[in-house]
Copies of this chain bind each other. A is one copy, B any other.
Amino acid sequence: MNQKSHRRGLLQAGRPSPTLEDLATAAGVSRSTASRAINGGLKVSPEAQAAVDAAIVALGYTPNRAARSLVTRRTGSVALVIPEPDARVMMDPFFAAVITGVNEALRGTDMQLVLLMSRAGDDSARTMRYLRGGHVDGAIVVSFHEADDWAETLGTTGLPTVFIGRPWAMGFGVPYVDLDNFEGGRLAARHLAATGRTRLGTVAGPADMTAAVDRLEGWMQGVREAGLPPGPVIHGDFTTAGGAEAARDLFSGSPELDGVFAASDLMALGVIDTVRGRGHKVPEDVAVVGFDNHSLLAANGLGLTTVTQPMVDMAVTAGQLLIRAIENPEEQLEPVIYPAELVVRGSTTGHCG
């Protein structure tokens, strides 16, 4: 099979895929001019530009990304790195929001989003290799447990990287986008105190996540500022089941609690289940504050008082930050912190004042 018939064969199979050479011939210009016309059109006469434009439409030409990438050393794609893609974790609308936001930021550029999910240890090495291998122009890393490793390694490879969520290891100057989790926790405490609750406790998130730690610290500070005793703290795993279990521990140790802050809405749901299972009412007996402003729970019958987290906006910002980092590698980018806001609903003020 010679070269020509090979090409024809592909065409027959439905892949016309004309090359730049074909384009140039059709437009009656050289390969160089065609290339220039495609990429910005500097130093191209109006006639040549028009001819090339017409030929592009006529042939349905699409530049071969691989060939272009080979010489420009740009891949036209960025990675979204999500550790631990359990179904459990994916079900969290957090990720949906991140994906939506990053995609939104990429709209208009010709960048494509490559999803990189890595499970436990061994796999993350593979992911790391992929990132270092120059297969993407940049990466957005959803900061998580092992984020320090990533930060360290990525920080030194020079691959433009933006974190969503403050990474553990700082000092690499890696920019990140985060919510003011500390203030969010503090707001929850202040709200419960302001509505007359005095015996507070919290179901915190995993101790190895910065968001969870920050929320807890803010909560403790808020409780302190309200002049209330620091209540019990139980760590959950951000899931509904985990929240319910943590709440059982919480109440078995301190049955008198009248206000609970759960570090995620899903955990708050579990807390509410537990409270009701013990024959008590929300919010009459126990007020519950969540975190995330989970869209599903907002529509739920019992409105959950919670701290808002504008995840989509945050993800958009992360995407824009990454684009800037790619286009201007020298620029030192600053972290962006979004303010936390409290949304008051029935789970704290249903029948009280």
A interface residue numbers (CB < 8 A to B): 10-15, 17, 60, 62-67, 69-70, 73, 75, 77, 80, 85, 87, 90-93, 95-97, 99-100, 103, 112-117, 129-130, 132-135, 156-160, 240-241, 266, 269-270, 272-273, 276, 295-296, 299-301, 312, 329
A294 to B: closest C-beta gap in Å: 8
Q: What are the residues of chain B within 8 A of A13 when measuring CB–CB?
A: 157-158, 329
CA distance A65 to B66 in the complex (A): 8
- Pair A134/B64 contact, Cβ less than 8 Å: yes
The answer, among B60, B97, B158, for a CB contact under 8 Å with A87, is B97
The answer, among B93, B103, B300, for a CB contact under 8 Å with A85, is B103
A257 to B: closest C-beta gap in Å: 20
Q: Which residue of chain B has its CB nearest to the CB of A71? A: B66
> Which residue, A92, A95, A100, has most C-beta atoms of chain B within 10 A?
A100
Enumerate 30 A-B pairs (CB-CB under 8 Å) in ascending A order.
A10-B73, A11-B158, A12-B158, A12-B159, A12-B160, A13-B157, A60-B132, A62-B129, A62-B130, A62-B132, A62-B133, A62-B135, A64-B70, A64-B134, A66-B75, A70-B70, A80-B115, A87-B100, A90-B99, A91-B296, A92-B96, A93-B93, A112-B114, A112-B115, A112-B135, A114-B114, A114-B115, A269-B296, A272-B301, A296-B296
- Pair B276/A301 contact, Cβ less than 8 Å: yes
CA distance A103 to B83 in the complex (A): 13
CA distance A189 to B295 in the complex (A): 30
- Pair A90/B100 contact, Cβ less than 8 Å: yes
- Pair A14/B133 contact, Cβ less than 8 Å: no
A295 to B: closest C-beta gap in Å: 5
Q: What are the residues of chain B within 8 A of A132 when measuring CB–CB?
A: 15, 60, 62
Contacts A133-B17, A133-B65, A158-B13 hold; do A96 and B103 have CB atoms under 8 A apart?
A: no
CA distance A17 to B100 in the complex (A): 32
Please name 10 further chain A to chain B contacts, defined as beta carbons within 8 Å, in addition to the given A15-B157, A269-B296, sorted by A numbering: A11-B73, A15-B158, A60-B132, A66-B75, A91-B96, A112-B115, A112-B135, A115-B115, A270-B299, A276-B301
Q: What are the residues of chain B within 8 A of A269 when measuring CB–CB?
A: 296, 299-300
Q: Top 6 nearest A-B pairs by Cβ distance? A: A62-B133, A13-B158, A14-B158, A66-B69, A12-B158, A90-B96
Contacts A113-B115, A133-B62 hold; do A96 and B95 have CB atoms under 8 A apart?
A: yes
> Which residue, A69, A95, A116, A296, has most C-beta atoms of chain B within 10 A?
A296
The answer, among B92, B117, B266, for a CB contact under 8 Å with A103, is B117
Q: Which residue of chain B has its CB nearest to the CB of A61? A: B133
- Pair A12/B329 contact, Cβ less than 8 Å: yes
The answer, among B62, B77, B273, for a CB contact under 8 Å with A114, is B77
Q: What are the residues of chain B within 8 A of A96 when measuring CB–CB?
A: 87, 90-92, 95-96
